[in-house]
Each structure stands twice: as C-alpha cells, then as structure tokens.
Structure 1
Amino acid sequence: MNMNKKMTYEVILETSYRLFAEHGFEKTSMSMIAKELGISKPALYYHFASKEALIDVLFEEICRGIDFSRFFDKRQYTKGNFEQRFIEDGLNMIGHQDQNYLQIMNQYHALGYREPKYMRMLIEILEGYTKGFAELLQHGVDLGVLPEQDVMVRAEMLTMIMDGMDNFMSYGFECRYEDIWKVTVLSLIKGDRVP
C-alpha cells in the first residue's frame, strides 16, 4: 500500500470514528463520511465495501488501541517501582478514554447484543485484561512486592473494576475514578485478603 492510500485509510477511520461517535452508527451514512472527507462515495467504497465493513475495521482498530499491553508493560515493573507504576499505568489508561471513545463503545456494546461477533471481541478484550493482570500480579509476587494469594481472583477483580469504570464513564456518571484506581492498587499491594 502506498503512502497516500495508507494516509487516506487512516483519515477515513479517524473521520468515521468521530462521526459515528457524534451521530451513531444508524444516522451516519457513507455519503456523510465521504462529504466530511471531501471525497466521492465511490472513492470511499474503494477502501470499504460497505458501512458494515467500515464499522468492523474500526472496531478492530479500537480493540488494538485498548489492548492490555498498550497500557501495562510487565517488563517495566521492578521491585522499586511496582506500586507507583501500576497506579500510573492504570491512570494513563483511564485518561486515554475521551468522549468519542466512550460514545462509540456504547454503540459497540449495543451492537454486541445483536451481532455475536462484537460480543465475542468484547469478551476477548476482557479476557486479555484478566490474563494480563494475572501475569502482572504474578510478576509482583515473584518480585516479592505482592502476597502470593488469590492472583486470579485479584486479576478478575481488576478487570471488573476497569470495565465498570469504563461503563460508568460512558454513562457520564461522575466518580473519582483516579482515586478508585489508587485505592484498588494500594489494597492489592498491602495484601488485603479476598474472602
């Protein structure tokens, strides 16, 4: 793919992301996207055969963008920085979620109830977070900064907390998300026993 096609592809995805977030999947047409891009509808169809194909590709890109490894890199965690790094990486992820992201994920969640492929992908993301948190927590155990107990339960809890915060943010619910994350991480480090 030459540079112009790649740039056009990326610009199409960025513009579609914004328009889908602002107007929803149903109300955003390929004509509207083409007009916003300043290209013809056939030019848009050259890159994406249908609006559904565009929605699919956009979701794949969003999923890559929120992959666990983008926010938490186990190799960067040491005995001396584990707690602070865990807090900072989680806060970075929370801060990554802009209003467009929250709006569009609401639509993908709704779509997941009608289209099993979206639900499967959403579940895969959550499973990736649980696995990633389990590996990170085990790394903390190996470093001697976390207690050797309930690693999988704690990983599942972290995934639920992250997913819950994501959902609450998408509803516009005002919470002290940063403080919730800090308290959660500090309780893990202290080794509060999970019943």
Structure 2
Amino acid sequence: MRNREETFKKILETAYIMFADKGFDKTSLSMIASEVGISKPAIYYYFKSKDELIEYLFDEICKEIELGNTFDYSDMTKTNLKHKLLAIGYQSIDEQKSDVHFNKIFNQYMLLASRDEKYMTRLLDIQAGYLKSYHDLFSYAVEIGAISDTNIETKAHMLAMVIDNIGNFMLTGSKLDYKGIWKEAIESVLREQPL
C-alpha cells in the first residue's frame, strides 16, 4: 500500500514540475510516467487521462491557495497591525521564491481557464476569496480601532493586488526589492488621508 501512495505522490510532484516547465500541451502521460520510473499503462491505475491528472492537480493547488488565503489575525492589535501585514506579504514572497514552479503552473491554469468555464469559475472563486480575506482583515483592524474605516475595501484590494503582482514580476525573473515594495504598499495604505 505504501508503495502505491509513494508512486501517487511522485506522479503529482513530477506532473507539477513538468506542467510548469513545459506546459500542459507539451507534457504527455508517457513523459511523466518515464520520469517517475513507471510504465505508461501503470499511470492509468492512478489517472484515467491527462485531463484527469490536470484537474486533480488543479484542485489540490486551489485547496492550498484557499488555505493560504486564511489569515490568522486573532492576536492582531493596534500596535502590531503593521508588523502583521508585513509578515503576511513577506511570507508570501518567501513562499514564491521557494517554489519556482507555482506561478508557472498557475499561469498554465489561467490559460486553460480562458478556454474552459469550469476552471474559470474556480479561479474567480479563489480571486473573490483572496480579496475577501484582505477585506476581512481590514474590517477586523477597524473593529479593534487600529485603523479608521475610510476606504478599507479599496485599501484591502490594493494590498491583494500588490502581492499578486509581486508574484507575477517574480515569475519574469525581475530583480526588484519585493519586500521593500510590500513595505511601501503597507505604509501607503496605513497612512491616514486627511479629509
């Protein structure tokens, strides 16, 4: 039983990297099976088709994204709000640096979503959840008196868009001060605007 679980995990890891590096169209089940060290017929024990593997991997990635979009701000206070927001962005930047394949494969799913409503619907749900998580965080900051309620939705969406675009720039290999950019974005949204 353990061998099957290890093979299943290896198929997913290999597909993740190969789909990211070569794309869905240029990666075959035969290529994945060969890299895993199993025969092509053996891969059908785990997945009936390449489409099924692509969909399964997408579901797993979506679960990880949704889990990552859940912020723990239960210990957030007026005095540590900025630190908490900085930590959220820094963690995201570090995670993207450590997984060079994530943005590549996510872009593959974006392309797939442009042709397949099922993928588009799920991506839009993820995006809505992502924006909501930042809005909820800012709403909580208002609730504890850490910030005023002025433009919190806009500020929350701005931060969500900044961190998302940081990931896109990282994908291109641009050598920018991403943590400095995130810090400036935080300082900008926390700065109270005169009425």
The TM-score normalised by the length of structure 2 is 0.88
> Within the alignment, does 1:10 sit opposite 2:9 as a pair?
yes
**Residue in 1 that maps onto 2:20:** 21
User: Could you tell which deviates more after superposition, 101-110 or 28-37?
Assistant: 101-110
Q: Point out the more displaced range, 146-155 or 73-82.
A: 73-82
**Structure 1: segments with no counterpart, 5+ residues:** none
RCO (CA 8 Å, sep 6+): is it higher in 1 or 2?
A: 2
What's the counterpart of residue 96 of structure 1?
95
Paired residues for 1:110-121 under 5 Å? 110-121=111-122
Q: How far is 1:91 from its partner?
A: 1.0
Cα deviation, residue 40, structure 1: 2.0
Q: Which runs of 5+ in 2 are unaligned?
A: none
1:141-176 CA distance string (max 9 Å, x none) = 112111211122222222222222222222333332
Q: Could you list the per-position Cα deviations for residues 47-81 of structure 1 after superposition, in whole angstroms to 9, with x for gaps in the alignment?
A: 11111111111111112222264562222423332
Matching residue of 2:137:
136
1:130·1:158 contact (CA, 8 Å) conserved in 2?
A: no
> Displaced runs of 4+ in structure 1, greater than 4 A?
68-71
Confirm or deny that 1:81 pairs with 2:80: yes
Deviates more, 1:27-36 or 1:57-66: 57-66
Change (3 A) 1:127 1:142: same
Q: Equivalents in 2 of 1:80, 1:42: separation in Å?
A: 59
Greater shift, 162-171 or 146-155, is seen at: 162-171
Q: Decide which structure has greater helix share.
A: 1
In structure 1, the residue matched to 2:29 is 30
Q: Which residue of 2 aligns with 1:161?
A: 162
- Decide whether the 8 Å contact of 2:20 with 2:101 is kept in 1: yes
Cα distance, 1:177 vs. partner? 1.8
Q: TM-score, normalised by structure 1?
A: 0.88
* Mapped contact 1:79–1:144 kept (Cα < 8 A): yes
Q: Which residue of 2 aligns with 1:108?
A: 109
Work out whether residues 30 and 44 of structure 1, in 8 Å CA contact, stay in contact via their aligned partners in 2: yes
Question: Percent same amino acid among aligned pairs?
Answer: 40
Question: Aligned pair count?
Answer: 193
- Residue by residue, what CA displacement relative to the aligned partner does 1:20-65 show, whole Å, maximum 9, x if unpaired? 1122111111011111111122221111111111111111111222
SS of alignment partner, residue 49 of structure 1: coil
Cα shift at 1:14: 1.0
Task: State the superposition RMSD in angstroms.
Answer: 2.1
